[in-house]
Copies of this chain bind each other. A is one copy, B any other.
Amino acid sequence: MIELPSEARVVNVGLRMFADAVAAQGAAVVQVDARPPAHGDPELVRALTDVYAADLEAANAEVLRRLDREVPYVVDVRPAMEVVPGMGDRSLLHAGPPIAWAEVCDPLRRSMRAAVVAEGWADEPGTAERLLTSGEVTLSAANEHDTVVPLATALGPSAPVWVVDDPAGGTRAFAPLGQGSGDVAWLGRESPAAIERLVFLRTVAGPMLKEIVARTGPIDTFAIAAQGVQMGDDVHMRVQASTGIVLRTMLPAIAALGGDSADVAAFSAYLSANHLFFLTMAMASAKALTLSAGRVPGSSIVTTMARNGTTYGVKLAGDRRWFVADSPPVEAALFHPGYGPRDGAPDIGDSAVLELVGLGGSASAGSPAVAAFLGGSMADAASATAETRRICAAESTRFTLPTMDFRGTPLGVDVRRVVETGITPRVNTGILHVSSGAGQVGAGVASAPFAAFRQALLALARAHRAPP
């Protein structure tokens, strides 16, 4: 005779309703949440099976090594036309995947009109609009030119850019100088002041920063970013500490500019007020590393992630194709007074490159400023980083989180893990007004669209599928 146990202890895996039914009868039950991988989509499950069967580990290890270990340096500041490969005389570079004028979102249109006027191709935004509509100005994805631009930046040929070298990778990347806050074109403004700021960058800030970098010598931006992460920067939404360190590094060269001239006064006021100054230095640095990592074929690691306000594009290492989906809204947002979710344009900017090297959303756990967007407590920020860890293949050895007892930030978004878990990278970013030209109206967190990663995984599976 079989003796029945006097009580049952139940472990339920999966649908919670079974656990609830057991609990309702007064029995002990442990609920283990489990969902089928890849939303249970048979095509994706098959693709995952194929991709896991392929041996990507050596390629991935090399990609991760480059992202984690190579060292980018700011070495120069130059007008884009002098250094950016393939930059046309009458072209503007923008964030995200390639896009036609007709599809360009409102804040980016405004920024493009401002850039056309600043370049001297038109007298005012109305004329600029006609040039853009007629196709006389070429639009081109900055990423296709080894360049990354933040938010709604439109980068003309005369605009000064940070030149960043990754000596180990043999790559060189570019990003524009930060335009500062307020009434500025990269936030979707086309006012006279916004256009004036673009001219100031070209005529004053660019040449002065070129002189400062020459005097200071190559700037190890990620050594600065690593200190910044110890000081509450996620080095995306918040770069206050890193900015302080880089300005202190530059201080002797700034003071040596000399003269009580109006230009020096305007330049130093621009530096002093620009709490995001380091952002584009970090972006160009991250791009130099992802360019190097992107040369490794046959990897499942994401090396491009960029949005133009209309579409969101992803690339894998070793693959030149964009995998594109609609750009999502920015959520977990704090809006400026008087603005709300209906005012926000879809996610825009190339700054998500920072999330590919262990910064931004990966570093949320260390940033009180970012925590404010994620529920207000540091536990919320820790959860964001913990979730990112689930879709990353490694941990940074240079960016470590004091709040996690100096554990490295998650590094190397693996498309396999994204599809398997259904978790997409979360990017800390600003929010621009969708239509009014008001500029920045808030900041928040945007989750990358699953559809782009789905396409990338399917393409990877096709490339690695064993012949039948």
Query: Which residues of A come within 8 Å of B, CB atoms?
Result: 227, 230-233, 240-241, 243-245, 247-249, 251-252, 254-260, 264-265, 267-269, 271-272, 368-369, 371, 377-379, 402-403, 405-406
Bound CA span A247–B372, Å:
26
Interface centre among A227, A248, A255, A369 (most CB of B within 10 A): A255
Contact partner of A371 (CB less than 8 A), chosen from B232, B243, B369, B402, is B402
Bound CA span A369–B245, Å:
16
Interface contact A254-B256, CB-CB below 8 Å: no
Other than the given A227-B240, A244-B245, A255-B255, 18 more pairs (CB < 8 A) read A231-B231, A231-B240, A232-B241, A240-B245, A241-B241, A244-B244, A244-B248, A248-B271, A251-B271, A252-B269, A254-B254, A254-B268, A255-B267, A256-B260, A256-B265, A258-B260, A371-B402, A402-B403
Q: How far is the CB of A462 from chain B (nearest CB, A)?
A: 46
Are A247 and B258 CB-contacts (below 8 A) given A402-B371, A405-B378? no
Residue of B nearest to A258 (CB): B260
Bound CA span A403–B257, Å:
41
Bound CA span A264–B259, Å:
11
A249: chain B residues within 8 A (beta carbon): 272
A230: chain B residues within 8 A (beta carbon): 232, 368-369
Bound CA span A271–B254, Å:
12
Bound CA span A377–B402, Å:
8
A272: chain B residues within 8 A (beta carbon): 248-249, 251-252
Interface contact B265-A255, CB-CB below 8 Å: yes
Bound CA span A249–B273, Å:
8
A268: chain B residues within 8 A (beta carbon): 251-252, 254-256
Residue of B nearest to A367 (CB): B402
Q: Can you list 23 contacts pairing A with B, beta carbon distance less than 8 Å?
A: A232-B232, A232-B241, A232-B402, A240-B245, A241-B244, A243-B244, A244-B245, A247-B247, A251-B254, A251-B272, A252-B269, A254-B268, A255-B257, A255-B264, A255-B267, A255-B268, A256-B260, A258-B260, A258-B264, A378-B402, A378-B403, A379-B405, A402-B403
Bound CA span A405–B251, Å:
35
A227: chain B residues within 8 A (beta carbon): 240
A241: chain B residues within 8 A (beta carbon): 231-232, 241, 244
Bound CA span A251–B275, Å:
13
Bound CA span A231–B268, Å:
24
Bound CA span A254–B265, Å:
10
Q: How far is the CB of A197 from chain B (nearest CB, A)?
A: 17
Bound CA span A378–B255, Å:
38
Q: How far is the CB of A256 from chain B (nearest CB, A)?
A: 6
A260: chain B residues within 8 A (beta carbon): 256, 258
Interface centre among A231, A259, A268, A269 (most CB of B within 10 A): A231
Interface contact B232-A243, CB-CB below 8 Å: no
Contact partner of A255 (CB less than 8 A), chosen from B254, B368, B377, is B254
Bound CA span A264–B248, Å:
15
The 7 closest A-B pairs by CB, nearest first: A244-B244, A255-B268, A368-B402, A231-B231, A251-B272, A252-B268, A258-B260
Bound CA span A129–B268, Å:
46
Bound CA span A234–B28, Å:
48
